Structure 1
Amino acid sequence: MSTINSPANNPSDSNPVYDLIVVGSGFAIPRSRERPRKSSHSGRWTPAFFRLDKNNKFDSDFKNEMKAYCEKLEAEVPNTVKFLLDLQYQDERNVYLGFNTGQNFAKGEGGGHAIILKLFKHILSFPNVDIMWETNAEQLLTQDDGTICGVKVRKNDGHFAKVFGEQVMLSCGGFEGNREMPYGRLGRYVGPRAEQLGLVAPGLKYNTGFGLKMGLQVGAATAGSFHGLHCELVDTRSSKPEATVWGHSFGIVVNEQSKRFYDEGNRSLFATCEVIAYETWRDQRQKAYFITDAPIMDRFRPGWVYDTTDLDPEKGDTIEDLAVKLGLVPQALKKTVDEYNASINGKEFNPMILDGKSTFGLTPNKTNWAAPIKVAPFYGYPLTAKIVFTFGGLKDFTAPVNSAGCIKMRVRLPENLTPSVNRQRSTMLSDVLHSVDLPENLPHEILSLGEPIEGIEVRDF
């Protein structure tokens, strides 16, 4: 491989020059680079939740988290959604979503896999689209003046080739799949024991940070928080991708010693799911246990809150019976549940609002939704944290900026390579798909590059 300082050969008649080269897969323009059964690192696994109201308007409150970034999202989302007409809408009647969307809950029918197949079908309708699969992007090509003019790739026969284009989009994910210790990027940036974080979807193993590396090699500046990540609590027993247990807010979560360690009701479900998972990994040896009772399960099941996993919860006629099934000390769990029940105030339980039904005298207290755990049978899930995506990326808004603050034209960077970082970090697909162009705006010629993906069944988050 030539060094980054060696200028690429200028395009010639023997090398076609594409309008756009897309490195990667998932939901970036044009949202595909493989055969349909092999598309997407993580996008195909997402349940495809959208932060939209009934008029396909983006949650206007979310822009306050990162004003400039989210105002751009607010403007782009309605047109984006016009391209995805097969959405299934419902009003969420059991969970306070924390969105300014009137409790509207939009979900792509068929999840991310269906969306990717729809986009792929559209792209393949253009006769001048070329797709290279089983091909790795290795390096951005530059002309003598530093202008990016294409990508150096390694073909499936092991040989290098040069692909030239007017613009290059790096849409190949973060570095959550780069796990080797002690030299893997995940361990280097996120910290010790990062290798203990499983991947929420199998395609994430291909997100090794190569796109970040290519951008940095040509002087792109970094953005976001390289030590940060989005993770979720998943069912420890399940081998299913995205076996997330979402309803931690409506019971208690304990560690191996049957001690609560987090305020399960301090904010909305989607605002806290990441933080409690992060603390499970960082401070609780990757082991946590959700405990609740019959009224909660009767209210929320069946449904996405507890049925994203493919396994039924553990069940016991007493708290002690449940503890045995979860591998906890029965007396210790009973003590924690009794103390919790005795500390709950008299307010009415209402999962549709921040209800103020809280505890007192506990460490930590529970701020909302402190429903008593008294009615048999009792239910529980063993939980562990799994990584969804990393927060470190390359700086971009309308064009990438190098480390000296100068514009580096001709590289486009969608989400996950241009991260927004906050503790209400979105699990909503509407925050990712905003860079999809409408059909009439799709580039005339697209070359999509990337490594082959295993043909596995649907999901992510």
Structure 2
Amino acid sequence: MIQQAKTYDLVVIGGGNAALCAAITAAEHGSTVLILEGAPKPYRGGNSRHTRNFRCMHQEPLAVLTDRYTEEEYFEDLLKVTKGKTDEKLARVAIRGTEESYAWMEAHGVRFQPSLSGTLSLSRTNAFFMGGGKALVNAYYRTASKLGVEVMYEAQVTHLERCGNRIEAVEFTHQGRSHRLTPKAIIVASGGFQADLDWLASAWGPAAKNFLIRGTPYNKGAVLRDLLDQGAESVGDPTQCHAVAIDGRAPKFDGGIVTRLDCVPFSVVVNNAAQRFYDEGEDVWPKRYAIWGRLVAAQPEQVGYVIIDAKSLELFMPSVFPPIKADSIEELAEKLTLPPEALQNTIEEFNAACRPGQFHPTELDGLATDGISPAKTNWARPIDTPPYYGYSLRTGVTFTYLGLKVDETSQVQSAEGPIENLWAAGETMAGSILGQGYLAGFGMTIGTVFGRIAGKEAANYAKH
């Protein structure tokens, strides 16, 4: 039996950054707000718990951000990683919204810090959260509580009842009972479907069973599927996602950002036959780290291996699990279960192709190989200084890009036009902007800017 419960102006589905920005904004615009968070309280916040920075446009040095980062440069960076697969109007709304959002975030409890060693290439573009994503999430929950926002944890939304071009009711389960709410407006900010491994495999094929899920195990896309089944317009490709090459020893779910390995630009990367398969030095890591999840996914058994030497060990953020260490390439191969002779040949061929030049670890240095394929176009130094180190790599999926199509006001669209009391923010609509690829800190950009837009629009609708 579905029980009629208290009525709210606005129900926000999800409990991460986008949901919180929406809820806070709506409350400040006079709405009574309920957040339905599917996770238990200790795991609240979705993937936002694992974030660490926010990509921010600015015209001059801004607090912890150095120099300037213009709208046009930001947009060009996005075009590079998406290869043009983006909605320019929505992308520019997100980009323009970041500069003003910095002050808004600080005013609502978020604290920033300068870039850490190993992330200096981001000092101009990305503002880092003091205490990471967990601190940001906790700050927003404190702010929301002060504004009277109510939160229900372990509240699994099962159905949004669409009638014509409105959502009439929200149905969910909590503490073993079914409930039904009839709010004036609804904001969906409940992420992608990456934690539903069957859905992931239906898009990717059996290879997806070997993927690791970096983020929350609660993002199974139930609300997304429910709305798509009822005619909400979709955007994005189900095989596109934010996929990163992560430490192969990471847990199946919820390993978070600490499982990412940032050593690829200074390494040789091989598959399980000890063969290189892509340019490790194509661009600075924040613009290329997200392509490596898909590259590894295309390799046999969806696995890769990173090989570095002693002179590169201090050039990247430390890994959460220590690297495998050996005194020779052959010994390292055995420890990584790679064919020793094949790895030795690959490393020797690579070393012979390296050319003299100036090495600059934080910028494109043009230090490239000559005469091998694939080439390494930057940071190509011989792997010749023992001890040697290695990591296994697996595909770590953060969030999927299939989502709800929205307009510039974050309102959800259908074939019959906008669904008049439904908005979406964050990962559940990010496919509108991210057709493929990823830019470091851009998920937080989308969630923050469109969360605030959705909160304002939904509150105004509820009021009038």
| Partner of residue 239, structure 2 | 227
Given that 2:426 and 2:451 are in contact with CA atoms closer than 8 Å, whether structure 1 keeps it comes out as no
What aligned pairs does 1:43-82 form with structure 2 within 5 A after superposition? 43-51=48-56, 54-55=61-62, 60=71, 61-64=73-76, 65=79, 66=86, 67-82=88-103
* CA–CA separation in structure 1 for the residues paired with 2:113 and 2:101: 16
* CA–CA separation in structure 1 for the residues paired with 2:302 and 2:245: 10
- Report the secondary structure of 1:360's partner residue: coil
What does the per-residue CA deviation read over 1:68-106, in whole Å, with 9 as the maximum and x for residues that have no partner?
222101221123222333443435776684x7xx64542
Which of 417, 420, 430 lines up with 2:445 in the alignment?
A: 430
Given that 1:270 and 1:424 are in contact with CA atoms closer than 8 Å, whether structure 2 keeps it comes out as no
* CA–CA separation in structure 2 for the residues paired with 1:45 and 1:326: 28
**1:319 and 2:329 matched:** yes
* CA–CA separation in structure 1 for the residues paired with 2:7 and 2:50: 33
Q: Scaled by the length of structure 2, what TM-score is found?
A: 0.81
Q: Which moved more, 1:278-287 or 1:254-263?
A: 278-287
| Partner of residue 42, structure 2 | 37
| Partner of residue 416, structure 1 | 427
Given that 2:16 and 2:45 are in contact with CA atoms closer than 8 Å, whether structure 1 keeps it comes out as yes
The CA deviation at 1:52 is: 5.2
Which of 7, 16, 26 lines up with 2:16 in the alignment?
A: 26
The CA deviation at 1:275 is: 1.9
- Report the secondary structure of 1:139's partner residue: strand
What does the per-residue CA deviation read over 1:193-215, in whole Å, with 9 as the maximum and x for residues that have no partner?
212111113x2x21111121232
Q: Which moved more, 1:234-243 or 1:274-283?
A: 234-243
| Partner of residue 27, structure 2 | none
Return the letter of the residue paired with 1:136.
Q
* CA–CA separation in structure 1 for the residues paired with 2:117 and 2:49: 27
What aligned pairs does 1:202-221 form with structure 2 within 5 A after superposition? 203=216, 205-221=217-233
| Partner of residue 176, structure 1 | 194
Identity over the aligned pairs, expressed in percent?
A: 25
More helix by share: 2
Given that 2:406 and 2:413 are in contact with CA atoms closer than 8 Å, whether structure 1 keeps it comes out as no
* CA–CA separation in structure 1 for the residues paired with 2:249 and 2:140: 34
The CA deviation at 1:443 is: 8.3
Which of 352, 366, 384 lines up with 1:356 in the alignment?
A: 366
Return the letter of the residue paired with 2:176.
D
Which runs of 5 or more structure 1 residues have no equivalent in the other structure?
A: 3-8, 446-461
The 1:408/1:58 distance shift into structure 2, 3 A limit, reads farther
The CA deviation at 1:58 is: 6.5
Given that 1:255 and 1:287 are in contact with CA atoms closer than 8 Å, whether structure 2 keeps it comes out as yes
Given that 1:255 and 1:261 are in contact with CA atoms closer than 8 Å, whether structure 2 keeps it comes out as yes
Given that 2:69 and 2:124 are in contact with CA atoms closer than 8 Å, whether structure 1 keeps it comes out as no
The CA deviation at 1:401 is: 5.2
What does the per-residue CA deviation read over 1:37-71, in whole Å, with 9 as the maximum and x for residues that have no partner?
24122221223354455426866223242322221
* CA–CA separation in structure 1 for the residues paired with 2:93 and 2:247: 35
- Report the secondary structure of 2:47's partner residue: coil
User: Higher relative contact order by CA 8 Å / sep ≥ 6: 1 or 2?
Assistant: 1
Q: Which moved more, 1:207-216 or 1:402-411?
A: 402-411
* CA–CA separation in structure 2 for the residues paired with 1:262 and 1:125: 51
The 1:62/1:112 distance shift into structure 2, 3 A limit, reads same
**1:136 and 2:156 matched:** yes
Which runs of 5 or more structure 2 residues have no equivalent in the other structure?
A: 22-34, 80-85
Q: Which moved more, 1:329-338 or 1:168-177?
A: 329-338
